[in-house]
Structures are given as C-alpha cells and as structure tokens.
Amino acid sequence: MSHRYAVIMAGGKGERFWPQSRLARPKQLLPIVGETPMLAQTVERLRGLVTPEQVIVITNREQRAAAVAACPMLPPENIVAEPVGRDTAAAVGLAALLVARRDPTATLAMLPADQVIHDTKAFREVLHAAYDAAEAEPWLVTIGIHPSEPATGYGYIQRGQMIARAQGRDVFEVKRFVEKPHLEKAREYLASGDYLWNAGMFVWSVATIRAALAKHVPLLAGGLETIEQAIAGGRSIDDALAEHFPTLQKISVDYAVMEKADNVVTLAGTFDWDDVGAWPAVMRHLPADEAGNVLRGEALVETGAGNLVVSTDKHLVALMGVDDLIVVHTPDATLVCPKSHAQQVKLLLKRLEAKPEWKRLL
C-alpha cells in the first residue's frame, strides 16, 4: 500500500467571485474555469499519484454537502468539515491527525482547492519529486512557482543553496518567506532569480509536521492532541471537532511554522499556475473575441472591448459602448464593476452583511 496521501484545503469563501460564489457554494465548488468544480479538478489532478481513498478534503459545515456532491469519486467520509474556521495551521494539524489515524508513517501533500493548473503531467511529476524529498529527509517541502511578472498579490520564497536532488529536480533550502511586496520590491525579486511565488502547496511526513507544530505552536499541538484523544476514546470525528476545534489557536501555517522552521526546502514547479484571485484572472483561461471580450452564457457585446460577461439561467446580458467591465449575472444578484475595482468586491459584501434583507445573498 502506498504511504502517500493528499489533503485538499477547501473551506475558503471565494468572496471576490461574488455573486456566483456564495458562502454555501464558493468558487472552489464552481466551474470558474473549466466545466467541473475547481475542487473536482484538483482531485482529478492527483490521479495516478494517490488513490481516491487516500485523498481527504477539509472544508466547513456550510460547504460539506456541496463538496460531497462535487467529488463523487471520493468516499464521503473523506470529506471532513471544520465546525469553525481556525486558519491554515489548524487545518494542517487536523490533516496530520486524520492521516496518522490511517497510517502514522504516511507522507501527505497539503493542496489548495482553487488553483488553475493546465499541465497536469508536469504537476504530477513535481509533486512526485516533492513526496520523494519529504520521504528522504525530515523536511518541510514547499512547491514554489517561477514568477513570470513582478506580482504584488503573492507571497514569495527566497531560495538558498541547492542541497539535494529528487526525481532529477533540484531541492533548495529556503532562506525566508516574504509577504506580498510593493511593486518596486517585486521587481527586485523577479530580477534576482532567487525568488519563487509561494503557491501554498506543501509536502511533509506526518512525523515531521507534527514535530514542527509541537515545537513552534505547542498550544495548537496540545489542542489537536485533545481532539485525537477524544476520537481514540470513542467520540466521532464530528463530535470531537465540535467540542474542541473552536478552542484551537487561530494562526496561519506560514506564521506558525514555515517562517520559523529551519528544515524548510523548496522545489520549483515547472507547470503553469494561477490562483485566480478575482474575476479578471478568469480571462486568462477562456477564449476571447477579436475585441478581447470574454463571454460565458448568453452574453453579447456591441462596440466594446476587454469586458468579462458571465450570465446564467439563459438570461441575455448585452453591453454596448463600454470597455473593461466585469458583469456577472445570477438569478438573484448582478455585479457590474470596472476590472480595476474587482479586488474590492469584499466591500460590497460588507454592505450586504449589514442589511438583514440582503444577507440571503451572501
């Protein structure tokens, strides 16, 4: 039996993809790019590396039913719901706990559910090498992406010296993680050639990540141990999580472990990658007309350029004489905004949240 597992983090809100993305069915559960939900695409990408029985999805209570429906290829019990969000370090600790119950000698990959990767073959090859590296040494392995532009929306990884090879690929020590930089600094990173985008993809053995959590965030590790003891004592996973998970320390795995540990290494991803953070990113992956308009559903643009129009339920959306707009129509809400404002959709959602009669639209 293979000792390799994959855990997919699928509990995000996807707020920048409102009004299609909602709390109960956010972007990872929608076919934002492609014909199937992004979560299902992530599971499919793992075919040949791990079996469906060795893929676990961590989501939340509001989204679990939709996640199960999106992943008929997985055993339903492999889709686990956090009762509340406690950030990524708690999710990583829960993942290690769940995998350890099945195989304490396992190595697991932690993967986001909502990234676009078209070159599946190259992705599998890189992930295979990352598993090998994590099995060879007690390393916390992260997969970075060669930057193609001085992006300010991503964190960066600074590489140190090359210290090993895995499946013919260079493994580098990590000097440091850097938060999202301003443009001038991002240009410096790009020019240096020493930096990778932090894609939030990690591989490590159960023993290595648990030791790291115990060392760097002992309070969180203690809370996870309480959950593990409750399950070992006969409590169901759902009951144990309901009682103890809300008490866990809320902190990201980057702050909790990756920025502190001295056994972090990185491999460069040789595949295309996009975390499609807001509506304009979708345009990079869909065909456009001669004027650069991208249309999904029943949509029409007359004398306009660079627009993204998404419509559902056979409702025709027509634009005339406008450029660079995002227009997304759903049966109960429609968004219209310039592409330059797409990152600010969260401000709209705060307004909705403040109005009782509009909360149904969240």
Give the integer Cα–Cα distance in Å for 103 and 22.
Answer: 35
Res. 313 pLDDT band, cuts 50 70 90:
confident
- The model's pTM is 0.94
Write down the mean pLDDT value for the chain: 96
Tens of pLDDT, residue by residue over 165-187, are: 999 999 999 999 999 999 999 99
In this predicted structure, what is the pLDDT of residue 52? Answer: 97
Res. 85 pLDDT band, cuts 50 70 90:
very high
In this predicted structure, what is the pLDDT of residue 277? Answer: 87
Q: Which CATH superfamily is domain 4-269 in?
A: Spore Coat Polysaccharide Biosynthesis Protein SpsA; Chain A (3.90.550.10)
Q: Comparing 14 with 134, which gets the higher pLDDT? A: 134
In this predicted structure, what is the pLDDT of residue 342? Answer: 93
Q: What is the mean pLDDT of residues 126-141?
A: 98
Q: Where are the domains of the chain?
A: 4-269, 279-361
Give the integer Cα–Cα distance in Å for 32 and 6.
Answer: 23
pLDDT at 1 over 70: no
